[in-house]
Structure 1
Amino acid sequence: MSIDTAPTNLTARAARIVSDMTVAERAGLLFHPMVFLDETPDLDAPSPLTGVSLRELIVDRGIRFITLGAIPAPDRVAGAIQVLQDLATTTGSRLPIVFATDPRHSFVQNDGASHRAAGVSQWPEPIGLGALADEDLVRDFARIVRGDYRAMGIRMALHPQIDLTTEPRWARQAQSFGATAPLTGRLTRAYLEGLQGDALGADSVAATVKHFPGGGPQQDGEDPHFPYGREQVYPGGRFEDHLAPFRDAIAAGAGIVMPYYGMPVGLELDGEPVEQVGFAFNRQIITGLLREKLGFEGVVISDFGLITDQVVFGKPFPARAWGVEQLSREDRTLKLLHAGVDQFGGEFDTTLVTTLVEDGRLDIARLDESARRIVQLQLRLGLIDPPPQHSAPVLGAPSDVARGLEAQSRVMTVLVNPDAPSPAHLPLTGSRRVHLQGLDASALPAGWVAAEAAAAELAIVRISAPFEPRDDYFLEAGMEQGSLDLPADLVAEIAELGKRMPVVLVVTLTRPAILTPVIADVAAVVADFGASDAAVMRALTGEIRPEGRLPFELPRSMAAVADSRPDVASDSADPLFPAGWSAL
């Protein structure tokens, strides 16, 4: 088909473009798989994620939205993407591909949530940006992300995540901004301004705000990627708190919204019980609340893998069809469309839609409604009428790297600092003989010496937030779930070290940790939210002042966590450190 490039109303243009497409091409727009990208793409090799080749996805199935998992070096991505764009724009609908990605500028490596920075500047996790609460920094960070993505050919971000971190055990807290709606809303607006600009346009990266209507209050903090974590609960009646950041995001012009996997239990809206099915399957939530009440007119993409049960790398990965597990794949597809979803994340079997149309179960008008929204997004991004080429930003520019490193130190939060001068009083000054655990000696300042415990005057111990390792399902090993208690052997080791010398404890808070058993055995405690060893030492020595405040509380015990309400911020009894705490 030829693409109409006449300057006119985008909605009308999108409708004309869709009307010229075959049913199969229209259906292809509704599917959004993930692929791994090599520097030199083999168009005919089956993907380890889908079993389908890139050529089949693009040519035979008409797919025009793809999320990138593993990628080559960032400066090689644009060339690889161009190979796929050349194929897309010369076959079928001739529409270009919109490439998307999960976050790529921080520390956590989790194939289902985020990628560790490589070849770009590295920043603290978003929860650290929440600890600093600096809107200007968040806006500038998002602008850097936008420049890097555009240089790679990526025009859609599967972030920001704006869920509230109200359940201390929840696995996804590192990618959120914190526990309160006002702060999350302010930082969300700043992030969208940086990523999309003043309005979604040809210079933007389209933001996907997730997970509507707020994914934090999971029962027992379990992750709804897996069957045991499907329930989402509101015993404190705080649904509106979790919804509030999405109101801010929609007002700020978010281009895309992603509903959560979670299945609400016992929720009522406007006096009516909400159907106990995953949010993307729920018409009350997607059409009634998001579309009609909140006025969202953009694209709704489901979270990934709601329709098809899979086995990935030998691990089972059941469809996240919570509440509708008994339905066939076709019926799940139809229910998603009826709810108001436009695009199916992680799915690639386009016959699910074409068969529904052929069988008369799906009205072509409903297919066209979503196809028009999706094409309109491409038009707004200037992908169908490519704008003049400008020089691309430099990936991993030294100034960006320096800003990211500085931010890693700035967001760190001092939880305990000795009142009186001592070897562990922060900032640490002068040359030291220091015993290190969990840090590399190469990060020490000039004049410092790494020593065995017997010869050291001070110990610096760096640990991570605890979690329960699990590995029965695909992606499960990368999710930090379960108890927040430190391992007993680690508690004993820190206690023994504390008897010999002052200990500065540095804990990486990708989620809260129960520090009560070690607090009496250490002299100082500092939290980081994703930082290199060098950034940690710059904060400990005062080269860069740690300015963060806790973005969530640190509970005193797991019993207090179990007694708290998952939808209520800072709800545990007598927390060891309250939200907002800093000892400086």
Structure 2
Amino acid sequence: PWGVEQLSVAERHYKALMAGIDQFGGNNDKAPVLIAYELGVKEHGQKFMRQRFEASARRLLLNIFRVGLFENPYLDVEESRATVGNPLHMKEGYDAQVKSIILLKNSDQQLPILGRKKVYVPKMYSAAMKDWGGNYAQARLEYPVNIDLLRKYADVTDNPSEADLAIVFVQSPISAEGGYSARDRRNGGNGYVPISLQYGTYTASDARAESIAAGDPIIDPSIKNRSYKNKMVTAANVMDLQTILDTKDMMMGKPILVSVTANKPMVFAEFEKEVSGIILNFGVSTQAVLDVMFGKYEPSGLLPVQMPANMATVEKQAEDVPFDMEVYVDQAGHAYDFGYGLNWSGVIKDKRVGEFVRK
């Protein structure tokens, strides 16, 4: 809060409103806005502050009206019924989800799961954390998927010794701090920390000593270098990895399948050798994942990005050069490169691969 360090959060909101600001980005808490309103009532009166808020409302809504979003507020009920929940549209959307799912590993043809099997699904621990919007989520231990939905496909047990196989549902490694740590800054660092693509503790020994970007001339002029070299981070969801490894021990040699929901590339070296199958999605429904795993659909997705062998290759890649990472190679010798994916018969080699994958 440069220049208003002495003001409270609500007072900063009030100052912004009095300067003519209409909208607060990245703020999901209405409390300081309401307090700012009361501060204005105290200084200028209720009529003035109501007019001030209505002026913001008018300016914000006018931009919406100008692009025609609310030109006609009336709906044709029959047209709405024909559009919302249209079966054809829903099918096309669901088909797109299914087609995006990527089968990375399938040792001994463990997938698809055929017949009515007894499945063990471990609960997942999620650490307490704040998201980018500052919203706080409490620590919790819970099933990662709707168990009632899973029971439509298989019998579910909490006892690994009774199970025919295990399915572990995880997310790709989460960097809760998003590359900047206020704690690091308070402790004398520059604030910048690695964004790791692995679960376990990562030391950025291969990072640049001098960052490409300069420091923070406005926010913090004392910072001239954003390098995070030699700093250590651990993924907020490191327990996802531990759960995979613990499940491996508890299943006593029985198949373990891992379903990964990812939002970026990740390092599979931490667990690939410990499991029988890996299926990857980038944010589809659980039903779509289960429909593929249990054989209703055959996987056809291809990797849209390279999956790195390790964090060293991530640090050493050039930001403006494509396909320059060392990719992960699994037990079967399959390289997790752009355009790679399996179907039930093996590595996909269709028209898409011939057209888009580099030779």
The TM-score range, normalised by the shorter chain, is 0.5 to 0.7
- Alpha carbons of structure 1 residues 440 and 453: separation in structure 2 relative to 1, 3 Å: farther
- Alpha carbons of structure 1 residues 544 and 391: separation in structure 2 relative to 1, 3 Å: farther
Amino acid aligned to 1:462 = F
Which secondary structure does the structure 1 equivalent of 2:271 belong to? Answer: helix
Higher CA-based Rg: 2
- Alpha carbons of structure 1 residues 556 and 35: separation in structure 2 relative to 1, 3 Å: closer
Alignment deviations for residues 107-132 of structure 1 (CA, whole Å, 9 cap, x no partner): xxxxxxxxxxxxxxxxxxxxxxxxxx
**Aligned equivalent of 1:397, options 66, 70, 85:** 85
Distance 2:84 2:91 in 1: 10
- Alpha carbons of structure 1 residues 460 and 430: separation in structure 2 relative to 1, 3 Å: same
Distance 1:454 1:508 in 2: 27
Aligned to 2:270: 517
Contact 1:34 1:49 in 2 (8 A): no
State the 1:492 CA deviation.
3.0
State the 1:53 CA deviation.
4.7
**Aligned equivalent of 1:412, options 101, 108, 111:** 101
- Alpha carbons of structure 1 residues 517 and 382: separation in structure 2 relative to 1, 3 Å: closer
Q: Report the TM-score, using the length of structure 2 for normalisation.
A: 0.53
Aligned to 2:196: 483
**Aligned equivalent of 1:444, options 150, 156, 166:** 150
State the 1:491 CA deviation.
5.3
- Alpha carbons of structure 1 residues 447 and 525: separation in structure 2 relative to 1, 3 Å: closer
State the 1:503 CA deviation.
1.2
State the 1:409 CA deviation.
3.0
Query: 1:42-81 alignment to 2 at 5 Å?
Result: 47-48=31-32, 52-53=36-37, 59-60=51-52
Contact 1:494 1:518 in 2 (8 A): no
Distance 1:406 1:59 in 2: 50
Calculate the aligned-residue CA RMSD, in Å: 4.0
Amino acid aligned to 1:442 = D
State the 1:518 CA deviation.
1.4
Aligned to 1:429: 114
State the 1:50 CA deviation.
7.8
Alignment deviations for residues 418-451 of structure 1 (CA, whole Å, 9 cap, x no partner): 3x54xx1x22221111111344431225462112
Aligned to 1:458: 165
Contact 1:505 1:526 in 2 (8 A): yes
**Aligned equivalent of 1:574, options 327, 339, 350:** 327
State the 1:549 CA deviation.
1.5
Which secondary structure does the structure 2 equivalent of 1:97 belong to? Answer: helix
Query: 1:349-360 alignment to 2 at 5 Å?
Result: none
Aligned to 1:33: 24
Where structure 1 has 5 or more consecutive residues not aligned to the other structure, the ranges are: 1-26, 38-44, 65-83, 89-94, 100-154, 156-377, 474-479
Aligned to 2:304: 551
- Alpha carbons of structure 1 residues 522 and 96: separation in structure 2 relative to 1, 3 Å: closer
State the 1:571 CA deviation.
2.4
Distance 2:166 2:112 in 1: 14
Distance 2:267 2:120 in 1: 24
Distance 2:94 2:317 in 1: 36
Distance 2:121 2:316 in 1: 37
State the 1:51 CA deviation.
5.1
- Alpha carbons of structure 1 residues 388 and 558: separation in structure 2 relative to 1, 3 Å: closer
Amino acid aligned to 2:198 = D
Distance 1:468 1:501 in 2: 32
- Alpha carbons of structure 1 residues 481 and 434: separation in structure 2 relative to 1, 3 Å: farther
Contact 1:506 1:525 in 2 (8 A): yes
Query: 1:309-320 alignment to 2 at 5 Å?
Result: none
State the 1:383 CA deviation.
6.5
- Alpha carbons of structure 1 residues 547 and 56: separation in structure 2 relative to 1, 3 Å: farther
Distance 1:430 1:561 in 2: 41
1:382 paired to 2:141: no
State the 1:501 CA deviation.
0.7
- Alpha carbons of structure 1 residues 31 and 439: separation in structure 2 relative to 1, 3 Å: closer
- Alpha carbons of structure 1 residues 440 and 60: separation in structure 2 relative to 1, 3 Å: closer
Which secondary structure does the structure 1 equivalent of 2:197 belong to? Answer: coil
Contact 1:495 1:518 in 2 (8 A): no
- Alpha carbons of structure 1 residues 456 and 96: separation in structure 2 relative to 1, 3 Å: closer
Amino acid aligned to 2:265 = P
Aligned to 2:174: 467
Query: 1:206-355 alignment to 2 at 5 Å?
Result: none
Which secondary structure does the structure 2 equivalent of 1:560 belong to? Answer: helix
Distance 2:309 2:300 in 1: 23
Aligned to 1:526: 279
State the 1:493 CA deviation.
1.9
Which secondary structure does the structure 2 equivalent of 1:565 belong to? Answer: coil
How many residues align structurally? 234
Distance 2:257 2:244 in 1: 14
State the 1:534 CA deviation.
2.4
Q: Report the TM-score, using the length of structure 1 for normalisation.
A: 0.34
Quote the sequence identity (%).
Answer: 20
Distance 1:412 1:56 in 2: 56
Distance 2:244 2:117 in 1: 25
State the 1:550 CA deviation.
1.4
Alignment deviations for residues 314-338 of structure 1 (CA, whole Å, 9 cap, x no partner): xxxxxxxxxxxxxxxxxxxxxxxxx
State the 1:464 CA deviation.
0.5
